[in-house]
Amino acid sequence: MTDKNGKKTLSGLIDAKAGLFAGVSDAIWDCAETRFDLEKSADMLISVLEKEGFAIERGVADMKDAFVATYKNGEGGPVVGFLAEYDALPGLSQESGVFERKPIREGGSGHGCGHNALGAGSLAAAVGLKDFLAASAGKTPATVKFFGCPAEESGSGKAFMARSGVFGGTDAFFTWHPMGENRVWGCSSLANYQVYFHFKGLSAHAAAAPEKGRSALDALELMSVGVNYLREHVVQEARIHYAYTNAGGMAPNVVQSDASALYFIRAPKSAQVRPIFERVVDIAKGAALMSGTAMEIEWDSACAEYIVNDALGRAMHENMRELGDTKYTDEEKACARRYVATLPEGSNKGVADLIKKSFPELEPGEVEAMASEPLQEKLFPYVMTDDALPGSTDVSDASWVAPTAQLLVGCYPTGAPSHSWQWVAFGKSPAIHKGLIYAGKVMAMTALDVIDDPELAAKAKREHLKRLNGEKYVCAIPENVKPH
Ligand SMILES: [Zn+2]
């Protein structure tokens, strides 16, 4: 067993290369590549991993910028995997370090979800753990894997990776997300199907020869009406939302021959989404029949619900406790405070509610004081529940393959929402660099617990099987659908 001193050594090894990891985070921020097209960002991570002695397999799961980096320390032993993301968001181009909305390039992309730091933090964990194991060569056989996962934002890259089997053979997964506060991720998430419905009709002069036209836009609208009636007859927590991605054109005097909508169909369990999806398909078929159009389905992606793991979560929380609260300098806080000042009044209400719930011993004044801190340094108490947060993540698909733990790190200004220009502008700050190093340490330490303590690994696995309750992972995306 690695004692506290061993973990201090591990932590020191990560500190020793902190500049390298922060540099990778900033460089990925600069590229701000989106979805599956992440060539430069993947190159940057790969070049570091290669230099550090990892073997690289690139282009896995039919995605050119998805990769697996593997470091083997001796023969056998547990296989621990760090999940990394590095995709940005379209439309969020934003200058760094300024306190107003100021795109670098109109319509360009930006790192509004902190995945630049996410990738670099996972890199810190993988390289740090590798350095630690290498120093004890042979004594601790283990394999460290780093999974480069494209398109977390709406492309579900990890679902394609899970479907292709690249996650197989891993004993535990670790990941993190930069956020507003420090805590172990302690809940499930909604399973989600993302599917396009395309309708094809016949164009005609809408006044002169309407009888010759068959409107694809009518079909879309009939489908929406049908789905709106369906909402009353699905499980309470289900969510069905749609966007018209093609409404058939700008001319009312032309019967619209082509129209499309993208649907997201979500529920707490994959097994609940499937029948709702089938009913939505029936409604689309009905809409096509009513409007005399043809309907075609095009899969975009899908992800499962997240399977929590209490054994790994607790181990992770212990390591966070061991490292203590995060500490930011006055200068870092002052910078964060300037971003808080750009937010609408009351933006920290969500944080205040969470603080109140998490620290019931605090007086109302103390809750308010903590919620008005520009950066949250305190470790929040450990909570683990099966309830689903009203959102989806493709980390879920990995969590079906093996026990998974992830942490959130408070390194963004309090109350600033993700996917905002404030997050992009703050993305290269020293606070973000601190956050990713902290995350790297926690993940590496928890992975070391799994390597060192066969009982923890076995306990996490037993719990995982129990939570799956005999179900096997089935990727919802049909086999013939490729990432696009
Ligand atoms: Zn994200």
Distance CA 95, CA 120 (A): 20
Kindly state the tokens that stand for 260: 């499309």
Would you say residue 154 has pLDDT above 90?
no
Please give the distance, rounded to the nearest whole angstrom, from the Cα atom of residue 114 to the centre of ligand 1: 6
Answer yes or no: is pLDDT of 292 > 70.
yes
Tell how far the Cα of 86 is from the centroid of ligand 1, in angstroms. 9
- Tell me, in angstroms, the distance from the centre of ligand 1 to residue 150's CA: 12
Kindly state the average pLDDT of the residues 241-266: 97
Q: How far is the CA of 441 from the centre of ligand 1 (A)?
A: 20
Percent share of the chain, pLDDT over 70: 99
What distance in angstroms lies between residue 75's CA and the mean position of ligand 1's atoms? 35
The confidence score (pLDDT) of residue 3 equals 78
Over residues 368-394, the pLDDT tens digits come to 999 999 999 999 999 999 899 889 999
- The pLDDT value recorded for residue 85 is 97
Cα 288–chain centre separation? 35
Distance (angstroms) between ligand 1 centre and the Cα of 263 equals 21
| CB distance 124 to 14 below 8 Å | yes
pLDDT at 332: 98
- Assess contact for 420 and 99: CB atoms under 8 A: no
Distance 113 CA to ligand 1 centre (A): 4
Distance 140 CA to ligand 1 centre (A): 33
pLDDT digits (tens, 9 = 90+) for 58-69: 999 999 999 999
Q: In angstroms, what is the span from residue 192 Cα to ligand 1's centroid? A: 16
Residue with tokens 């933090």: 121
Give me ligand 1 centre to Cα 159, in Å. Answer: 15
Ligand 1 centroid, distance to 452 Cα (angstroms): 30
User: In angstroms, what is the span from residue 298 Cα to ligand 1's centroid?
Assistant: 25
Of 297, 232, 236, nearest in space to 263 by CA: 297
State in Å: Cα 20 to ligand 1 middle: 22
Distance 465 CA to ligand 1 centre (A): 27
DSSP states of 108-120 as a string? --B-SS-HHHHHH
What CATH superfamily is the domain 4-188+305-468?
Zn peptidases (3.40.630.10)
Q: Output the CA 157–ligand 1 centroid distance in Å.
A: 13
H runs (alpha helix) in 165-269: 216-230
For residue 118, how far is its CA from the centre of ligand 1 (angstroms)? 8
Distance 16 CA to ligand 1 centre (A): 27
> Sorting pLDDT into bands at 50, 70 and 90, what band is 318?
very high
What's the CA-to-centroid distance between 454 and ligand 1, angstroms?
32
Measured in Å, residue 410 CA sits from the centre of ligand 1 at 14
Residue 5 pLDDT: 80
**153 alpha carbon to ligand 1 midpoint, in Å?**
7
Residue 470, Ramachandran bin (φ over 0: left; ψ between -120 and 50: alpha; else beta) = left
Rounded distance from Cα 132 to ligand 1 centre (Å)? 29
Q: What is the rounded average pLDDT of the residues 297-312?
A: 96
C-alpha of residue 468 to centroid of ligand 1, in Å: 25
Q: What is the pTM of this model?
A: 0.94
Domain ranges for the chain: 4-188+305-468, 191-303
With cut-offs at 50, 70 and 90, classify the pLDDT of residue 1.
low
H/E element holding 33?
none
CA distance 25 to 440: 13
**Measured between alpha carbons, how far is 433 from 409 in angstroms, rounded to an integer?**
11
Distance between Cα 88 and ligand 1 center (Å): 9
pLDDT, the chain, mean: 96
Please give the distance, rounded to the nearest whole angstrom, from the Cα atom of residue 176 to the centre of ligand 1: 9
Q: What sign results for the dihedral spanned by CA atoms 395, 400, 404, 408?
A: positive
Residue type for position 96 = S
CA of 399 to the centre of ligand 1 (A): 16
CATH of domain 191-303: 3.30.70.360
Summarize pLDDT for 409-448 with one digit per residue, the tens: 999 999 999 999 999 999 999 999 999 999 999 999 999 9
pLDDT digits (tens, 9 = 90+) for 453-462: 999 999 999 9
User: Do the domains spanning 4-188+305-468 and 191-303 agree at the CATH topology level?
Assistant: no
Judged against a pLDDT cut of 70, whether residue 137 lies above it is answered with: no
Q: Which residues pair with 172 in a beta bridge?
A: 80
Measured at the CA of 42, the angle between CA 36 and CA 47, to 5 degrees, comes to 165
Q: What are 86-117's pLDDT values in tens digits?
A: 999 999 999 999 999 999 999 999 999 999 99
Pairing relationship of beta strands 55-58 and 79-84 according to DSSP bridges: unpaired
Q: What tens digit of pLDDT does each residue of 192-224 get?
A: 999 999 999 999 999 999 999 999 999 999 999
Is the predicted pLDDT of residue 33 greater than 70, yes or no?
A: yes
For residue 159, give both structure tokens: 């679902």
pLDDT computed for residue 2 by the predictor: 73
